[in-house]
Chain A
Amino acid sequence: MPTTLEPVQVDEPAVDEELANDRPWVVIVWNDPINLMSYVTFVLKSLFGYSDEKATALMLDVHHKGKAVVASGNREEAEMHVYRLHEHSLWASMEHDE
């Protein structure tokens, strides 16, 4: 939100470039042998508001396939998701959606 009425010089090319690069990101949780399955399910429910069924399915994907995409979004959103997963000690990372 601008706090001044003065015209602001905008560096438009840079903005466009940034937007063009801002392809969707996916947030990945990787399998780890230490975190409890019930804990992982609970964290996914509590951070993303997922149902018991969805969170359990994602947790089982992580457990059996080694990883699962648990969320997606622009870079800022994905980074916030990763941060909160890290806060809960889940092994999370993010990458561009293929």
Chain B
Amino acid sequence: MSSGSDRGFVAPVERIDHDCDGDIDTDINSDTDHDHETGSENGPRFRLNFDPDERAFLVRLLAELKELLTSEETEATAPLLHRLFPPAFHDDPDKEAEYQRLMREELVASRVAAIDSVSTLLSPAGAEDDGVGTAATQHATLSEGDTMAFMQSLNAIRLVLGTMLDITDDESSDAAETGDSYEFGLYDHLGWILEFTVRALSGS
């Protein structure tokens, strides 16, 4: 990461030092934080540096992902859902059917819970509900669990987009990096945000 040499550049997602944090708490994701017992009170905090337009745009993408996850599967959405819910057993149809029957609903619920909490974090109204107020929204901090949910949801959106763009092998992935359509641009941009999110969560 070269942020030190790049003055004026603001990372979309950053980890905040403990010393300068502690006054604002918008940890609304604690009940969906089952993956990581991070102790959100004392764990690291993170900040999203998006302007209101970009926040609104991300909220819209999240709503579209939720719509996809919770609507009846159609011919158009089947390949996308297949990528989000890949088979667990490649050679055993019975066990695979059992896995899908037992786990799929839980997987949808888990993804929707993450989407809902991230959408609330990104929405000014959500921050107001938390008593933080609109002015502070830009500086509201996230727990590690919130940031994981943000990462997972963003990654799922990027995965859907990549599948729609027919990125099916590393070659077409390379092509995507040089593509200049709106969708390719968005796909790249989400990858850029994700890269910073992973770095922030990794502590670098």
Contact = CB atoms under 8 A, between A and B. Distances in A.
Interface of A: 31, 33-36, 38-39, 42, 45-47, 79, 82-84, 86-89, 91-95
B155 A35 contact: yes
Given A33-B169, A34-B158, A46-B36, A93 B87 contact: yes
Interface of B: 35-36, 83-91, 99, 103, 106-107, 110-111, 148, 151-152, 155-156, 158-159, 162-163, 167-170, 172-173, 191, 194-195, 198-199, 201-202
A86 B107 contact: yes
Contact of B162 (A33, A39, A45, A92): A33
Contacts of B195: 36, 38
The binding surface of chain B is classed by DSSP as: helix
Given A34-B173, A79-B99, A84-B35, A89 B199 contact: no
Given A36-B195, A89-B152, A93-B89, 20 more contacts: A31-B170, A33-B162, A33-B169, A33-B170, A34-B162, A34-B163, A39-B155, A42-B198, A45-B202, A82-B99, A83-B107, A84-B35, A86-B86, A86-B107, A87-B110, A88-B152, A92-B88, A93-B88, A93-B90, A94-B88
Nearest to A82: B88
